[in-house]
Structure 1
């Protein structure tokens, strides 16, 4: 057993991967052979990710606020505190806060053999966010 009593400083999400103000806190990054990574991600109103994929999928658990998630070709889905979202391996998607509230979620991913946890793609175009649905 290992108890972590301190963690890395919060990092601002880079502009090439996020629109708006987003902060990432690494919650867990266990030593190998574990490949699990856990982050708490804090989105300011209207902030969101770029399109992206995860090699082994992703679990999002919303801990506060309201937001949206969308998979490529699917409808924009509202999410709120208490919701859990499973995103399949390789599924192209984005997620973020609603236009009027902050949104925080825990993001759980499994790293690939090479250590990669995400493949970033283009930003969601401004006319498509915030969604009107």
Structure 2
């Protein structure tokens, strides 16, 4: 009887080991960055950005809700021009590494899970870091007017240190 139980362990143990090994291989192949929250959207073709940027509109403002909501994906090195929102803006970082800077302040590094509240009428810019793509959900108030686009962000400002 004892040898039957021991023989059973020799069958069960390799099966458990194989199963654990397979689970480990599966989890190693799944990258958290591959789990996209929203679609990438279409490439932005206007001159309000430097580099390659994609926009997927999620909600258009209307008479009931004066906010536009969009998923914005910046390829490495891409960024917006300086701009301001008369009703403010909220940024929800969903992946990657990016930057945000208000005029007169040092740029800050943004990572997945960070939230930025852009005050009304404060010039700022945001975009991807030089070597990592960046994705954000932008919630932009429209009740006080459209975004005011300003000058491009110079390379010296973009490359300056961050806090």
Name the TM tier (shorter chain).
0.7 to 0.9
| Partner Cα separation in structure 2 for residue 30 and residue 54 of structure 1 | 14
Q: Residue 123 of structure 1 corresponds to which residue in structure 2?
A: 152
Instruction: Report the TM-score, using the length of structure 2 for normalisation.
Output: 0.70
For residues 51-105 of structure 1, the C-alpha deviation after alignment (integer angstroms, 9 at most, x for no partner) is 0000111000000000110000001100100000001000100000011111000
**Structure with higher helix content:** 2
| Partner Cα separation in structure 1 for residue 113 and residue 101 of structure 2 | 18
CA contact (8 A) 2:83 2:125 kept: yes
Q: Which runs of 5+ in 2 are unaligned?
A: 1-39
Shift of 1:36: 1.2
Q: Residue 62 of structure 1 corresponds to which residue in structure 2?
A: 93
Question: Is it true that 1:52 corresponds to 2:103 in the alignment?
Answer: no
What is the root-mean-square deviation of aligned Cα atoms in Å? 1.7
Task: After the TM superposition, list the runs of 4 or more consecutive aligned residues in structure 1 that deviate by more than 3 angstroms.
Answer: 130-133
Q: Which has the higher contact order (CA 8 A, sep 6+)?
A: 1
> What aligned pairs does 1:1-133 form with structure 2 within 5 A after superposition?
10-113=41-144, 116-133=145-162
Task: Look at both structures and tell me which one has the larger radius of gyration over its CA atoms.
Answer: 2
